Structure 1
């Protein structure tokens, strides 16, 4: 390794970046972050071209290009797993469990893209490095779109739940109002019935029997009319229009 590169390194590899000096390029990348685990560094060294192709080292060993492809494949696998979980998510809690790991992954993928771009600028003729840079761009874009889509759908579901709660509250309020109206209508009748039911002579004890049945029939018809009014279309008209059901892929566009 070039002494100039060693001089620019600290006690640890630190953030993802590319360091170029004396024809060499040191590429410091991070493995996909895992919750609760320290970050793992993936260190690559590009030596000057000998013949037709440059020599890539990985942690002091040959096969750097193969290991760089493997690192990018690890990011792609995790992205595909999170996308599959997003497609299966049915609740807000399931969406929230996707956002948690997606945030550090999106940040790591973006920093990896920037480091590969810096390495590509230092070695513009390395076609393999250009291809890997382009893959990193797609990976970073995929994580960003997945994170944005998941956040949007989570916000939509929370807003939908709040709207449904508001509608339910309005329904209960309207039902209570109508019950109060019914109580107001029936209270005088019940009061009169209670008064007439007292063991006192009121003068109507000797009326014909059909009057009793007429009162019963009138009360039954009035009860049916009130029941129809309580469950009638006015209840539905007073409620807000139901929102469109939640669906997958709010934007309707592919993420990658």
Structure 2
């Protein structure tokens, strides 16, 4: 069988393990065959990866030697792998703290979800490794660190969701307040228009004559007073209707 691209050609893995490997890494898991332990993990995922995961593999051969790829250092590489996840989670936590708008919270959540799934799956794989090597304290420590990472990303997820909900609720409240202010201004304009409409109509009619002739007419002040009275009546009717509609 051909070597899988994410498995170094120099690794002398048994055929029973190679038969269980596909062209892509697949889910994070532990393969335990013929005294060989092959731990298949994912590099820190990014939202831009379009669900394509890059493999990080760790091999413990029957001689007790750890090897790793593409990271180096064997078991030390596993510690560095967990550190990379920890760094990514802390970065998202800082972004949640500084986020102010729904868009900023959305960007955090977009990067958070693949990291959250990968962290949970990595913990499952390390738990399987811990069960395969129950007496290795280093593995227990690695498993516990992975559990801490899972709790950390869960807290980040909860904070991001709470922040998103709060900013959206606050934005909706501000929009409601702005709409109420606009409605109040519109009601004031309606009342002013109702008050001046009869008077404006009369002014338009009298405006067809020269002002000096209008003032000399005996009924000018009576018409003006009638216009103001009609304006008050229309204003009152509009105000009462607005109160009933609330």
Give TM-score scaled by structure 2 length: 0.72
Tell me the secondary structure at the aligned position of residue 18 of structure 2: helix
Give CA-to-partner distance per residue, 1:147-184, whole Å, 9 cap, x none: 23212211221222122112211221121112211222
Using CA pairs under 8 Å that are at least 6 residues apart, name the structure with larger relative contact order, 1 or 2.
1
Counterpart pick for 1:26 among 23, 38, 55: 38
Answer whether contact 1:45 1:57 (CA < 8 A) is retained. Answer: yes
Structure 2 counterpart of 1:6: 18
Structure 2 counterpart of 1:203: 218
Q: Which has the higher helix share?
A: 2
Q: CA deviation at 1:127?
A: 0.7
Answer whether contact 1:196 1:202 (CA < 8 A) is retained. Answer: no
Answer whether contact 1:18 1:119 (CA < 8 A) is retained. Answer: yes
What CA distance in whole angstroms lies between the structure 2 residues aligned with 1:89 and 1:162? 18
Tell me the secondary structure at the aligned position of residue 57 of structure 2: strand
Which region of structure 1 is more displaced relative to structure 2, 143-152 or 128-137?
A: 143-152
What CA distance in whole angstroms lies between the structure 2 residues aligned with 1:60 and 1:178? 72
Q: How does 1:75-154 map to 2 (within 5 A)?
A: 75-154=85-164
Q: CA deviation at 1:204?
A: 7.5
What CA distance in whole angstroms lies between the structure 2 residues aligned with 1:165 and 1:44? 54
Answer whether contact 1:89 1:95 (CA < 8 A) is retained. Answer: yes
What CA distance in whole angstroms lies between the structure 1 residues aligned with 2:185 and 2:165? 30
Mapped pair 1:36 → 2:46: no
Q: CA deviation at 1:191?
A: 4.7
What CA distance in whole angstroms lies between the structure 1 residues aligned with 2:56 and 2:70? 11
Stretches of structure 2 that go unaligned for 5 or more consecutive residues are 1-12, 229-246
Give CA-to-partner distance per residue, 1:41-67, whole Å, 9 cap, x none: 11112235x6xxx43222499832100
Q: CA RMSD in A?
A: 3.0
Aligned residues: 206
Mapped pair 1:72 → 2:82: yes
Answer whether contact 1:28 1:43 (CA < 8 A) is retained. Answer: yes
Aligned in 2, Cα 1:61/1:139: closer, same or farther, shift over 3 Å? closer
Q: CA deviation at 1:79?
A: 1.1
Moved over 6 A (4+): none
Which region of structure 1 is more displaced relative to structure 2, 159-168 or 185-194?
A: 185-194
What CA distance in whole angstroms lies between the structure 2 residues aligned with 1:169 and 1:59? 60
Answer whether contact 2:25 2:53 (CA < 8 A) is retained. Answer: no
Answer whether contact 2:56 2:70 (CA < 8 A) is retained. Answer: no
